[in-house]
């Protein structure tokens, strides 16, 4: 028997009993949708918490001038004397640590950005090529700041999506020269929309080489140094190294603060993840219930279709073919139910997202894969018994009207 015939035949059965089919699709759909929605809620909560507490990134350390006794939270203010500034050379020296993968110096200021007659006041960030990777930024067009010695600057800049929109409208921005303060910069890249990062809306910033920013804002001092550790495990090591290197460079004085995403956040992450898994698992029980429903409906269907099964056997269907017919039916139902469920789940997630726009609801990938897969597997498993029963039917008995 050909696969297309098998599908056609199963399809004829499903179409022949619409309400039965609709019922099963509904049950399967609800199960899958429940898993998707519930796990989106869990995942949304997790991501929300992580975003709030740790817009830092897991391997990221932030070095800021001034000593603060609080660790992990917002940097406290230094009491007493003004701290020594962190310079570009300080930042470059951090690269010596073996736990550090990359560093990116950061200067922040506000500048008037001009193009033709338009002016916008936006945050201007001064950094280096490394910032792209350290902050996991993405470009929608062009390139990021070119690599090279951070002491020297090239007159180039990368602009956020909103800046591009407001200054250039529908016109091409790449290659255009804009003016920030009294300096001219050529637009080489445009950031992809990403939302918040380090307290800035990346849509609204202009990024220039760090040396240009120093000149623009007339300062040597870095606002922050972003340090990426080689791995999550190396974060503590990197922190120790950073403190040590800067202490040595600052005449034995510990006058910087290093913020890392601390253990609390990791624990939060674990708890929320476990919670998501748990509620997702509970929702998956409804898939099991849907599986049992499929089994019952199929068993009834075998009884109702005794004559048909007997006839199929009389005209030469093997047991394997009879089983395949029932499996195909179950698989189509489960796939259909899975699709319905994913669609309903997605709609539900979007709806809830409308109600709470700040929380990033979206189902974790495992839920999107696991829910329909569970649906198909349960459906096929639960149709084993009905399929067996059908295949074992004695054709003579099935055809007789006794």
Encoded one letter per residue, x for contact with another protein by CB under 8 A and - for no contact, window 262-301 reads ----------------------------------------
Q: Report the phi/psi class of residue 148: left, alpha or beta, with left for phi > 0 and alpha for psi in -120 to 50.
A: left
Q: Is 401 in the site for another protein (CB under 8 A)?
A: yes
Task: Supply the minimum distance, in Å, between the C-beta of residue 2 and another protein.
Answer: 6
Q: Is 323 in the site for another protein (CB under 8 A)?
A: no
How far apart (Å, rounded) are the C-alpha atoms in residues 301 and 13? 10
CB 151 within 8 A of CB 89: no
Q: Closest CB to another protein among 16 and 76?
A: 16
Per CB under 8 A, which region of 12-20, 161-169, 295-303, 331-339 contacts another protein?
A: 12-20
Dihedral sign, Cα of residue 227, residue 229, residue 235, residue 238: negative
Q: Is 321 in the site for another protein (CB under 8 A)?
A: yes
**Phi and psi (nearest 5°) for 393?**
-60, 135
Cα Rg of the chain, angstroms: 31
How far apart (Å, rounded) are the C-alpha atoms in residues 385 and 323? 10
**Subset of 367-396 contacting another protein (CB under 8 A):** 395-396
Q: Is 311 in the site for another protein (CB under 8 A)?
A: yes
- Nearest CA among 343, 351, 350 for reference residue 371: 343
Q: Is 318 in the site for another protein (CB under 8 A)?
A: yes
Q: Closest CB to another protein among 3 and 365?
A: 3
Per CB under 8 A, which region of 34-42, 59-67, 280-288, 314-322 contacts another protein?
A: 314-322
Q: Is 20 in the site for another protein (CB under 8 A)?
A: no
CA distances from 283 to 40, 353, 369, 375 (A): 12, 20, 14, 12
- How many residues interact with another protein (rule CB under 8 A)? 27
CB 257 within 8 A of CB 64: yes
- Nearest CA among 327, 268, 304 for reference residue 393: 304
Q: How many residues does the chain have?
A: 402
Q: Is 313 in the site for another protein (CB under 8 A)?
A: yes
Selected binder of another protein within 265, 312, 376, 393 (CB under 8 A)? 312
Selected binder of another protein within 66, 123, 310, 348 (CB under 8 A)? 310
Q: Closest CB to another protein among 23 and 129?
A: 23
Selected binder of another protein within 12, 82, 354, 358 (CB under 8 A)? 12
Q: Is 9 in the site for another protein (CB under 8 A)?
A: yes
How far apart (Å, rounded) are the C-alpha atoms in residues 84 and 78? 11
The two structure tokens encoding residue 141: 């067009």
Selected binder of another protein within 10, 13, 28, 294 (CB under 8 A)? 13
Q: Closest CB to another protein among 181 and 395?
A: 395
Q: Is 306 in the site for another protein (CB under 8 A)?
A: no
| Percent of the chain that is helix, strand, coil (3-state, to 5) | 55, 20, 30
How far apart (Å, rounded) are the C-alpha atoms in residues 50 and 64? 22
Binding site for another protein (CB under 8 A): 1-2, 5, 9, 12-13, 15-16, 307-308, 310-321, 395-396, 399-401
């Amino acid at each position: 028997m050909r696969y297309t015939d098998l599908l056609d035949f199963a399809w004829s059965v499903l179409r022949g009993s619409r309400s039965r089919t609709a019922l099963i699709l509904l049950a399967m759909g609800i199960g899958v949708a429940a898993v998707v929605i519930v796990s989106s809620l869990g995942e949304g909560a997790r991501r929300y918490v992580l975003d709030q507490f740790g817009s830092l990134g897991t391997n990221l350390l932030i070095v800021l001038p001034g000593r603060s006794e609080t660790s992990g939270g917002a940097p406290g203010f230094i009491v007493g004397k003004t701290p020594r500034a962190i310079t570009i050379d300080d930042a470059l020296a951090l690269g010596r640590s073996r736990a550090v993968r990359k560093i990116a110096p950061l200067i922040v200021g506000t500048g008037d950005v001009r193009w033709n007659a338009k002016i916008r006041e936006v945050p201007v960030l001064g950094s280096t090529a490394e910032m792209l990777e350290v902050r996991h930024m993405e470009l929608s067009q062009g390139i990021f700041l070119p690599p090279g010695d951070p002491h020297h600057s090239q007159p180039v800049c990368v602009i956020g999506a909103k800046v591009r929109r407001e200054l250039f409208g529908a016109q091409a921005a790449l290659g255009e020269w804009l003016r920030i303060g009294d300096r001219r910069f050529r637009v080489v890249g445009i950031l992809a929309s990403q939302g918040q990062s380090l307290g800035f809306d990346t849509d609204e910033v202009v990024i220039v080489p760090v040396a240009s920013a120093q000149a623009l804002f007339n300062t040597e001092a870095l606002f922050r140094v972003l340090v990426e550790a080689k791995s999550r495990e190396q974060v503590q090591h990197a922190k120790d190294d950073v403190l040590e290197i800067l202490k040595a460079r600052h005449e034995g004085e510990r006058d910087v603060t290093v913020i890392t995403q601390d253990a609390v956040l990791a624990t939060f992450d674990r708890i929320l993840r476990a919670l998501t898994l748990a509620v997702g698992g509970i929702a998956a029980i409804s898939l099991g219930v849907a599986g049992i429903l499929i089994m019952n409906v199929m068993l009834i269907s075998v009884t109702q279709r005794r004559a048909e099964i007997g006839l199929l056997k009389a005209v030469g269907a093997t047991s394997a073919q009879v089983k395949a017919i029932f499996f195909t039916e179950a698989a189509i139902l489960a796939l259909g139910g899975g699709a319905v469920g994913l669609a309903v789940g997605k709609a539900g997630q979007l709806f809830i997202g409308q109600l709470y726009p700040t929380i990033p609801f979206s189902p974790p990938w495992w839920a999107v894969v696991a829910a329909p897969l569970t649906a198909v597997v349960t459906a096929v498993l639960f149709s084993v018994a009905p399929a067996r029963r059908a295949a074992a039917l004695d054709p003579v008995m099935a055809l007789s009207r006794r």
